[in-house]
Amino acid sequence: MRDYRTFQEFWPFYLREHSRPKTRAFHYAGTTLVVLIAVAAVATGNWWLLLAMPVAGYAFAWASHAAIERNRPATFTYPAWSLRADFKMWWYWLTGRIGRELDAAGVKQEAQK
C-alpha cells in the first residue's frame, strides 16, 4: 500500500478498494445503521447505544472486505481517513453522486447484482 499524505490522495485509493457494488452496499448498510443508532441514542437519551456504533459499522465493512472484495480494509493503515471516506462515500451514494466519484477514481462500474 502506498503512503498517502493527504486525504485527497487517499480518496481515489479508498474508492478503488471498494470497487465491487456489493462491498459498497455492505458499507452503506453499516454506515446507515451507525447513523440510526446515533439518532436513537440522542432521541432516547440512552447513551449506552453509542457503544454499538463501531460494532455495527465495522462488522458490515470488514465482512464485505473478507467475503466480497477480498482485500485488507484500509482502516488498519488509515483509520481516521477511512472513517471520513466511508461517510463521504455514503453521502455521495445518498445524493446520487457516487458514480462520478467512482469514474474519477478509475473504478469500472458494473451493474448491482
Which pTM was predicted?
A: 0.91
pLDDT tens digits for range 20-33: 999 999 999 999 99
The pLDDT assigned to 113 comes to 47
The pLDDT assigned to 89 comes to 98
Indicate the burial class of 83 (C-beta count within 10 angstroms; 0-12, 13-18, 19 or more): middle
The pLDDT assigned to 69 comes to 94
The pLDDT assigned to 111 comes to 58
pLDDT tens digits for range 57-111: 999 999 999 999 999 999 999 999 999 999 999 999 999 999 999 999 999 986 5
